[in-house]
Amino acid sequence: MIINNSPALAPLLLLAAAISIPVLALLSKRLAYLTAIATSLVATAVSVLNLWRVWESGPLRYHFGGWTPPIGIEYVVDPLSAFVALVVNAVALVVLWHAMGLADEEIAGRAVPYYSLVLLLLCGANGMILTGDLFNLYVFLEIFSLACYGLIGIGEKQAAVASFRYLIMGTVGASFYLLGLGFIYIVTGSLNMADLRNILPLVYGNPAITAGLTLIVVGMGIKMAIFPLHGWLPDAYTYAPSTTSALIAPLGTKVAAYVIIRVLFYVFDAGYVSGALPMTDFIAWLAAIGIIYGSVLAIAQNEMKRMLAYSSVAQIGYIGLGIGMANPFGFIGAVLHIVNHAFMKGTLFLVAANLRKNSGHSDIARLDAAYRKKLPWSMAAFTLAALSMIGLPPTAGFFSKWYLALAAVDKGNWVFLAVILVSSLLNAVYFFRILERVYLLPPPAGEKEGEGFPLKSKTGAGLGLGEEKWGLMIPACVLSFCLLLLGIGNAGIVKGVIQRIIPIGM
């Protein structure tokens, strides 16, 4: 039955579609687009199915080709992996929908490879999330990364350099991961996560294990862009096509964060990584510095995408801090923020894309109230996402902050508490700077309304919505509306998903 194979369905389907899209494009480009959307939709549906199955009957273990682990490759769908996979697929679906309206201009002539690469990226992400095998994870990591480099590279001129830089750093990261994996394999003789979980406690004293874990965390830390390994991120997000930024910013770093959580707390255990080896403390302090550093640099930026990129560095710090505090509330905060940040940054980058599409730039200094009049709904979505970033209730961001604050108090670390709270003020500074401009700053006198807006078509305008294209506006609104739902329904996620899998030993 196909339903029994549901754990493997999403990555395989995405891979198959990614390969067939260039072929389909020979028939009709439209068909290629639709295939991409449809596949993404099916992947999301499969994730929902997986999550439902996990809820009904507990974790699913799927053995590829019938080979039993530790020899064969195993896929494990537990509440965490099912949920993160769902978030990744759902956000990607909305971004792909948005990309339909953008593809003709931003990535003109390269839309087909774009769609193909996006599906490849999603295939990699799904595989990394669902696999129960560390080496298989590496394979998918490479698929994911290569797709990423390509997606960034198809942007503006500087994108090639940014992409190359990311390629170098990303490859170093992946190599570190592989090296660490080798260390662990030599000592334990296994690559299966569940198997390792049983073997590792016997060999915790072995320095090779310590070295292996450190290499894995550093390697994944680069992918996650945790301070000070974030160097590739600002350029990559800024120069990539807007639609790529909107895809990679919410998803790229989150998958790496998920892998770190998986390795630290489910392959190793919380007691070891926070006790015998002060790994988590180290992560927490770096993350705390990263939060402040990213926020301050975000304030200093004059270009919206670049500002959002630095803001991502800070927000990844939230996740890192939650992981690093290694207590139940910290874990809840980290996982919840993976979700919340995916939706927040997705919204913000989509709005930045709409801005660029409409006015050809997203310089903060040039924004004024005319931009809001042109894009009222996009700006409303932006406002909601900004409030969530600042952490005002009842949006999702408030609850990330709340759980992380609880975690900091539980840990008795007042510095972390202060960092979490101060950073939300810093967020307020750089978001209200934009909000003030788009809501309150009148356009410079002399410039006629609409000047500087090379509007190409006016579909939608006649319908009273005032925005150029529904297809660009609605996805942003959908994502930002989800922020409200995630906020008021957060207890459902926490109790239904996260609390079921609080790692043992916290």
Partner 1 sequence: MTAVETYSSILPFYAVAVSLVAVPLILLSARHANLREFWTIAASLVKFGVVFLLLPGVLAGRVAGFTLWEISPGIALALKADPFGVFFALIASGLWILTSVYSIGYVRGLEEHKQTRYFASFAVCLSATMGIAFAANLLTFIIFYETLTIATYPLVIHKETKGAIAAGRKYLIYTLTAGLLLIAATAWTYRITGSLDFKAGGMFGGASFSPEAVTVLFLLFLGGVGVKAAIMPLHSWLPTAMVAPTPVSALLHAVAVVKSGVFGVVRIVGFVFGPELLHRFGLNGLLAILAGATIILASLLAFRQDNLKFRLAYSTVGHLSYIVLGAALLSPASLTGSLLHIANHATMKITLFFCAGAIYVKYHKENVSELDGIGRAMPWTMGAFTLGAIGLAGVPPMNGFVSKWQLGLGSLQAGEIAPLAVLVLSGLLNIGYFAPIVYRAFLKKGAGSRGEASPAMVLPIVVTAVLSVLLGLNPDLFFHFYSMAASISGSILGGSGP
Question: Which residues contact partner 1 by CB under 8 A?
Answer: 387, 390, 392-394, 398-399, 401-403, 405-406, 408-410, 417, 421-422, 424-425, 428, 432, 436, 440, 442, 488, 490-492, 494-495, 499
For the bound state, the minimum distance from the C-beta of residue 373 to partner 1, rounded and expressed in Å, comes to 13
Which of 200, 336, 211 shows the shortest CA–CA distance to 267? 200
| Crossing angle for the helix pair 242-261 and 134-153, to the nearest 10 degrees | 160
For the bound state, the minimum distance from the C-beta of residue 434 to partner 1, rounded and expressed in Å, comes to 13
44 vs 480 by CB, closer to partner 1: 480
232 vs 402 by CB, closer to partner 1: 402
66 vs 442 by CB, closer to partner 1: 442
For the bound state, the minimum distance from the C-beta of residue 456 to partner 1, rounded and expressed in Å, comes to 29
In angstroms, rounded to a whole number, what is the distance separating the alpha carbons of residues 261 and 217?
10
128 vs 473 by CB, closer to partner 1: 473
φ/ψ (deg, to 5) at 281: -60, -45
In angstroms, rounded to a whole number, what is the distance separating the alpha carbons of residues 471 and 252?
24
218 vs 369 by CB, closer to partner 1: 369
For the bound state, the minimum distance from the C-beta of residue 291 to partner 1, rounded and expressed in Å, comes to 14
Sort 204 into a burial class: Cβ within 10 Å, 0-12 / 13-18 / 19+: middle
Q: Are 54 and 60 in contact (CB under 8 A)?
A: yes
Is the Cα torsion angle 225, 230, 233, 234 positive or negative in sign? Answer: positive
146 vs 494 by CB, closer to partner 1: 494
Q: What are the CB-based long-range contacts (under 8 Å, 24+) for 312-315?
A: 312/225, 312/233, 312/237, 312/249, 312/253, 312/341, 312/345, 313/225, 313/227, 313/230, 313/233, 313/234, 314/290, 314/423, 314/426, 314/427, 315/341, 315/344, 315/345, 315/389
For the bound state, the minimum distance from the C-beta of residue 394 to partner 1, rounded and expressed in Å, comes to 6
For the bound state, the minimum distance from the C-beta of residue 317 to partner 1, rounded and expressed in Å, comes to 17
DSSP conformation class of 375 = S
For the bound state, the minimum distance from the C-beta of residue 393 to partner 1, rounded and expressed in Å, comes to 4
170 vs 487 by CB, closer to partner 1: 487
User: Reduced to 3 states, what is the DSSP secondary structure of residue 360?
Assistant: coil
277 vs 406 by CB, closer to partner 1: 406
For the bound state, the minimum distance from the C-beta of residue 409 to partner 1, rounded and expressed in Å, comes to 5
For the bound state, the minimum distance from the C-beta of residue 479 to partner 1, rounded and expressed in Å, comes to 20
334-361: burial string, b at 16+ Cβ within 10 Å, e else: bbbbbbbbbbbbbbbbbbbbbbbbbbee
Q: Which residues does residue 63 pair with via DSSP β-bridges, in sequence order? A: 74
Amino acid of residue 392: L
253 vs 423 by CB, closer to partner 1: 423
For the bound state, the minimum distance from the C-beta of residue 489 to partner 1, rounded and expressed in Å, comes to 8
User: Reduced to 3 states, what is the DSSP secondary structure of residue 506?
Assistant: coil
95 vs 405 by CB, closer to partner 1: 405
| Crossing angle for the helix pair 396-411 and 304-325, to the nearest 10 degrees | 40
248: left (phi over 0), alpha (psi -120 to 50) or beta: alpha
442 vs 454 by CB, closer to partner 1: 442
Which secondary structure element, helix H or strand E, spans residue 63, and what is its range?
Answer: strand 60-63
Which of 343, 352, 354, 342 shows the shortest CA–CA distance to 101? 354
- Structure-derived torsion over alpha carbons of residues 443, 101, 376, 454, reported in degrees to the nearest 10: 20
For the bound state, the minimum distance from the C-beta of residue 417 to partner 1, rounded and expressed in Å, comes to 6
User: Reduced to 3 states, what is the DSSP secondary structure of residue 239?
Assistant: helix
For the bound state, the minimum distance from the C-beta of residue 77 to partner 1, rounded and expressed in Å, comes to 23
Q: Are 123 and 143 in contact (CB under 8 A)?
A: yes
41 vs 364 by CB, closer to partner 1: 364
Amino acid of residue 295: S
